Structure 1
């Protein structure tokens, strides 16, 4: 899972070309609903459990002195956590969880994306959706893929790029 287009181009065109006045046939002209088995993500509202998961992550990040509004601070904290784990002083799953939440919350605050539960052919996780951009971002996958490749120094550039794709007015 990661950055996906939810509808194929021809489906987006069909939706954009719809008349502004509703008609009795509108229900028939809607594009098919996304299905995870087609590789098209489906989103659902957060439950209390997911909201608690995000809150716990934000509390832990604050306790570690990580400023969610500062990409350089998030990146530096991730790089330190990566070095610590490489030296046997940390847990990869905890780092992926915390920095997935950090990146996700930064995107929520700076872009038009919002938290959601996202399911696709690969599973279900916290994700960020933006209907206007027709995309889904799963921050934990951003972190875990780069963790497995041993990448550091990537957070500010990658996250700022994602913010730039769907910036929040005034952010």
Structure 2
């Protein structure tokens, strides 16, 4: 008889510190300077596509690391969710990583916006996922369709 694997605890949450808040604010200011409305997930999705397509247009051997773009877009996506829902910015920590995320205490919904962007970036997906995910999350939270623990 084998023992069941130990249950892993869910992530713990803390408020972003001053440096993390300034880092996100810098991203949001840059996005706003590009005339992207942070309340409009479609505009963020279109901006994602412009940035991705610009990056892809460079010869592969001269492309920069996309991490800065992914973090920029992830911050914009997360801020859009925060502005439209009860989600709030947190630092989520577990045994594997510590990352900025957005979390809803009531439903325990947890979204890692930069990870969502990174996954679609590596798959070269269109920016349609941003308004699609935003609409789904807004609808489900407004209808209380997320039951704890539902981590996205």
Larger Rg: 1
What's the CA shift string for 1:123-171, capped at 9, x where partnerless? 1111111111112111011100111111112211112112222249xxx
Superposed counterparts of 1:96-111, under 5 Å:
96-111=70-85
Matching of residue 133 in structure 1 with residue 107 in structure 2: yes
> Which one of the candidate residues 21, 25, 29 is aligned to 1:51?
21
Identify the residue that residue 61 of structure 1 maps to in structure 2: 31
Question: Unmatched 5+ residue regions in structure 1?
Answer: 1-36
Q: Normalized against structure 1, the TM-score is what?
A: 0.72
Q: Normalized against structure 2, the TM-score is what?
A: 0.80
What's the CA shift string for 1:108-134, capped at 9, x where partnerless? 110001001011233111111111111
Q: Measured at CA, do residues 91 and 85 of structure 1 come closer, stay the same or move farther in structure 2, by a change above 3 Å?
A: farther
RMSD over aligned Cα atoms = 1.9
Tell me how far apart the structure 2 counterparts of residues 120 and 64 of structure 1 sit (CA, whole Å). Answer: 35
Identify the residue that residue 96 of structure 2 maps to in structure 1: 122
Tell me how far apart the structure 1 counterparts of residues 102 and 22 of structure 2 sit (CA, whole Å). Answer: 16
Tell me how far apart the structure 1 counterparts of residues 70 and 39 of structure 2 sit (CA, whole Å). Answer: 18
Identify the residue that residue 165 of structure 1 maps to in structure 2: 140
Identify the residue that residue 68 of structure 2 maps to in structure 1: 94
